[in-house]
Amino acid sequence: MPQIYFDHASTTPVDPEVFEAMKPYFLDKFGNASSLHNYGQESLAAVENSKKVIADFLNCKTTEIFFTSGATESDNLVILGLAKKGEHIITSKIEHPAILEPVSQLAKQGVEVTYLDVDSHGLVSLTDIKEAVKENTRLISIMYVNNEIGTIQPIAEIGAWLKELNQTRQNKIYFHTDAVQAVNYCEMDIAKLGVDLLSLSAHKIYGPKGIGVLYCKTGVPLHPIQFGGHQQKGMRPGTINTPGIVGLAKAIELVVQNFTSDNERLKKLRDDLITRVLATIPKSQLNGDLKKRVANNAHFSFYGVEGESMLLLLDQEGVAVSTGSACASGSLEPSYVLMSLGMDVLFAHGSLRITLGKSNTQQDIDYLVAKLPPIVEKLRKISPIK
């Protein structure tokens, strides 16, 4: 039986080149980057070199790069470190919990929140954002790519409009995007996106777990939410994760090197998968916009079956997929993202997220397309829903 991994939106394997780049900083070059002796300075040089790679990728200054434990921490730092009681935040109803939950905490402390609806394809409307802005609006946080349905939000369009608006306002509105799912597939030039803050995570791009980045534009009045050291200008204290940072930078280098070829190949495989699944399985649908989506994402719903049952039966056939975000696994409720699209609950419960990666081949697609229809048919036969 083959072992096929189709859950790259959840996490990716560490690329061998990334692993090799990291190895010396676990063994021989293990110094604390804050130490003044040679061991420490050797690690510090690796951190600074890595920071330059990432800054060049984002087209920003190295002083605007802060390393975190991952995008969840980066998101929390933005939300909790920027807005305060009496101010207003605009976000969408389909954000990752790393945004929605800290926003909810602030709401309990007197911060006003507007949760934007999305259309049936999962896209935010710039018109809705314009109408939501108030005099006390402090922050707009809209994710670049949705982690479940893969839709790409109009970040550059929002950024361009907000830049013009801020020229007429006394109280500047800051713009943040959670770009975790976008790095492999979308434009990441800060100047083109028009964002003030951006979060990303290494383990979604064939880098190590436990390391992420927050880009914070010079002049953004962000306050730390952790204390206990002076590392990274006090913004994110704690011993710097040198091996993780080196691995993240190497993963970024590989994204740049393989961007066009990887995206073209994955899109071809993904489109083939979408066409064949919709053609062979009755009462099935694709969720999210067909064109405004990242190249590796195919998110389906199948009427009258449970997503978890499909996942488990596919796993028995050697195929790993997801029913949605790994952060929401274990919940018996249908996905809040899918419900925000206005979807029938019987479709929402029967969802599968299939996210391709560098290792996937045409043979993998063929195998999945052969196994999935009989699984859906089997489950429908025993389902009380007809």
Beta bridge partners of 302: 284
Is 327 assigned a catalytic role? yes
Which residues touch 185 (CB under 8 Å, ≥6 apart)?
A: 145, 263, 294, 295, 296
Contact 125, 158 (CB under 8 A): no
Two tokens at 102? 């800290």
Q: Which two tokens stand for residue 352?
A: 């599968």
- DSSP-derived 3-state class of residue 130: helix
* Separation CA 164–CA 250 (nearest Å): 36
Single-letter amino acid, residue 279: A
Catalytic residue among 60, 186, 216, 327: 327
The set of catalytic residues is: 327
